[in-house]
Structure 1
């Protein structure tokens, strides 16, 4: 089951370190008015400057609010940060404003000329205008949940120390571990789409003309009908990843390097060309739809599952270098098929899903990870056997007149009321910026300590 690196980690009783990822979350949600239209209100004044507030910003449209959490050691801590900052955002909304809880945008106007793009300064505003010119406006509007994972330093040092013939320095060991993580997540993206896809339909005017989906799907957002830029990355290694993106810019397929929006991104040095020299510091997972059953767009069990996946990928044999692109190209095709399946139907790759979840169960049992992981895997195994229990299939129960607007607004109002009833009130960002340490104190005031050990 284990690779040589995995066996080393197991023998050194360091398996826990494979799931001790520092985790950060980025959750996008549109601001809408109480009738379900994109809000005409500006970026909330109580949040300060959208270009400098690191915790609540915008993405593509000024209405697309993005909550960003400080790095946290454990899933529960990340969720508490997310809940706290999400409440701050909700408290700053104008009267009547709500946060749209679905990945696919609310009904869009036919005339989008009055919809403001994100106000990021001249350079990025020019980029957004050019992006909109090249793509359809609607293709920039889907929202999602992004998860950032950073590997524990102890693990990198352990691998480097015990494989000196394989890795010359810490940089090589670190990049290698991030590479096998990225490859694993891209390879099994189709399974994540099946288990967590939650965008079965699109609202009015998302599609052009008279186009209409033949049937509801598992995830519009994760299909080719979703976010606009369709450009495949090269995950063979960090160097190949960078060269592929730079070539995309040179060939004018990409406007800028940061236009690459693959399912996984290597992150670290802000200058992309320097990334192979300085090394990846974390990976960004971009394959999750918003979960509308949660006020913050994602559930703790989902984060725990992703951490389990990451641990499994690190411990398992990696793809051979000359097979990475072939396998991941096939994985992309599988994801497109799964994303476009009717969410009420058995998945074409049900047997593969069963086998993979069984491997995860054996892995979790061997490592004695505890009942919470067994419960998560049991629940996900049920989703594989019964597609009606998947998020997208459940959402179909609320479709009226080919729309989820009534359901989305009901949820949005409920979440807004809950945020307004919160006992602890945050003073806001209007007059100052907060470091991560200051933010922790302002949000929790000693009622929650993210530094305590949790899972």
Structure 2
């Protein structure tokens, strides 16, 4: 397919990529402990604000950008949202890594509160269900999500170069699923380069059983010498109950069939929790997935939903519009959790996954995908580490060298007369050849060189970023726009609450009916 694009028209079509970022960050007190107060009113309503919300906890902020073509504009927007927010946190700071800060009693972690509307109650109950199912500790792990789509011009060129057996809409959906299959085969590349959680505070695993051979540093830091992303390990954001789902990525139809089956599949394990116990709801239902958002995957097929639509209904209606990358740790070396060199690499990586032939996956393929990812998460920087590529054992470094060679062709096409993509690729190639230059390698180098606890190092970063973001220049117009958005979101929540007259139990019944969800549903 790349041959179709090796011209001025193809380069322009490639350059029309669109991206959005969602960054999660815990609010912490200056002593590094989790903030326990409510979501600051000055930031608006977490239920209805389009840019500043919360995820699992009142303490877990989520910053969301609009969609941008320009990388600089994307990161400026994200930085402005951080800067505005930090100015309204008092002395509180943002925790700049994925794994949580010190948590005393996990029962004290405040579940996000979205108000009294039925929509708000549903969002809160879903999170309450997550607490009963997996524990609060896992839910306050932070990450970065990267939303990605290619231009209509690129789709037109690719479709014209196809055999046109499918309609253009179906061709786009199936091509995105080809991207997803290739991404899953290569997903280990992202924790290798961008994993930034090789160490954590020992308090995180108190009371948990683990087979990981941790080493200790300082007073309470646990680490694995060659780990890349403990966030993606069994200690992190995983769900054993979902391992039996076997959801297929071989086509949109098979994927939707699997998701729809999963949200109806009973779980004996979750049944023991109870749905409504002594008059109090504990979870939305006792199925393997309460709702489809609970399906944990390092990548998702997405479409912007219409009022009342669930994600799978939107995909069934009009196909895949973009994909969401969910395998990214927070980058501790950036005040906003991600930088331009990462974005450019992701562009190249995802375009490669789209433009490379993508055979259907089978059970053997799936086993290799899981084994490769597990190896890289816990041992990714280990000298001579081998992975399974198509049934053959190859070294991680050799596989990456080969991949980077293929990415260089795309980098030159995207750069045209420039150099930015080639420079970013060269930057990450250094990390291929020297694992100490990966993000996880840099974290461990900092900890071992200074001989300090992970929490001490992260607290120092949090303080530095707090001051940098407070000093970041926001124009009066930008600040006024954020203040207006906050006020408008509070008014929108109040309107929802005034209009929520339906009994909540009936609202839930309607939500889980086969018909589209209630029109104010936002999860």
Report TM bin, short chain. 0.7 to 0.9
1:179 to 177, 180, 188: 177
Secondary structure of 2:59's counterpart equals strand
Which of residues 358, 382, 385 is equivalent to 2:430?
382
Question: Match for residue 448 of structure 1?
Answer: none
Q: Residues 342-393 of structure 1, C-alpha deviation per residue, up to 9 Å, x if partnerless?
A: 6464543222112111221244346665422222222222211211111112
Match of 2:203 in 1: 205
Which residue of 2 is the match for residue 308 of structure 1? 348
Counterparts of 2:158 and 2:407 in 1: how far apart (Å)?
23
Alpha-carbon distance in structure 2 between the residues aligned to 1:186 and 1:372: 26
1:114 aligns with 2:111: no
Post-superposition Cα deviations, 1:148-174, rounded to whole Å, max 9, x if no partner, equal 01221122233334546322x231122
Q: Tell me the SS of whatever aligns to 2:231.
A: coil
Aligned 1:14-413 pairs, distance under 5 A: 14-93=10-89, 95-109=90-104, 111-120=105-114, 121-163=120-162, 165-167=164-166, 169-209=167-207, 211=209, 213-215=212-214, 216=224, 217-230=227-240, 231=242, 233-251=247-265, 252-268=287-303, 269=305, 270-271=309-310, 272-316=312-356, 318-321=357-360, 323=361, 326-341=364-379, 343=381, 345-348=383-386, 349-365=396-412, 369=416, 370-399=418-447, 403-413=453-463
Q: Is the 8 A contact 2:180 2:353 kept in 1?
A: no
Q: Number of residue pairs matched?
A: 425
**CA offset at residue 68 of structure 1?**
0.1
Aligned to 1:440: none
Separation in 1, partners of 2:235, 2:179 = 26
TM-fit CA distance, 1:329: 4.0
How far, CA to CA, are the matches of 2:489 and 2:457 in structure 1? 36
Normalised TM-score (structure 1) = 0.87
CA 403–240 in structure 1, closer or farther in 2 if over 3 Å, else same: farther
Matched-pair contact (CA < 8 Å) for 1:20–1:74 = no
Aligned-partner Cα distance in 1 for 2:362–2:421: 29
Q: Distance in 2 between matches of 1:328 and 1:148?
A: 24
Q: 1:329 to 1:152 in 2, by over 3 A?
A: farther
When the two chains are superposed, the root-mean-square deviation of aligned CA atoms in Å is: 2.3
SS of corresponding position for 2:108? coil
Structure 1 residue runs without a partner (length 5+): 435-455
Alignment partner of 1:350: what SS? helix
Q: Distance in 2 between matches of 1:397 and 1:7?
A: 42
Cα distance per residue 1:43-62 (max 9 Å; x no partner)? 11111111011101001111
Structure 2 CA distance for aligned equivalents of residues 430 and 304 of structure 1: 32
Q: CA deviation at 1:115?
A: 1.8
CA distance 1:25–1:368, shift in 2 (3 Å): closer
Secondary structure of the residue aligned to 1:431 is helix
Change in Cα spacing, 1:274 to 1:366, as seen in structure 2 (3 Å) is closer
8 A contact 2:13–2:151 mirrored in 1? yes
Q: CA separation of 1:344/1:319 partners in 2, compared to 1, >3 Å: closer, same or farther?
A: closer
1:432 aligns with 2:488: yes
* Paired residues of 1:234 and 1:240 also in contact (CA < 8 A): yes
- 2: CA distance, partners of 1:156 / 1:386: 37
1:439 equivalent in structure 2: none
- Structure 1 residues 162, 345: closer, same or farther in 2, change over 3 A? closer
Partner SS for 2:24: strand
Q: Highest CA radius of gyration, 1 or 2?
A: 2
1:230-285 deviation line (CA, Å, top 9, x unaligned): 54642212222222222222223222111112111111144214413311111100
Q: TM-score, normalised by structure 2?
A: 0.76
SS at match of 1:293: coil
How far is 1:11 from its partner? 6.1
Deviation of the 1:309 alpha carbon? 1.5
Provide closer, same or farther for how the CA distance between residues 63 and 132 of structure 1 changes in structure 2, counting only shifts above 3 A.
Answer: same
Q: Which moved more, 1:305-314 or 1:30-39?
A: 305-314
Alpha-carbon spacing, 1:328–1:379, altered in 2? closer, same or farther (3 Å): farther
- Whole-angstrom CA distance in 2 between matches of 1:281 and 1:398: 41
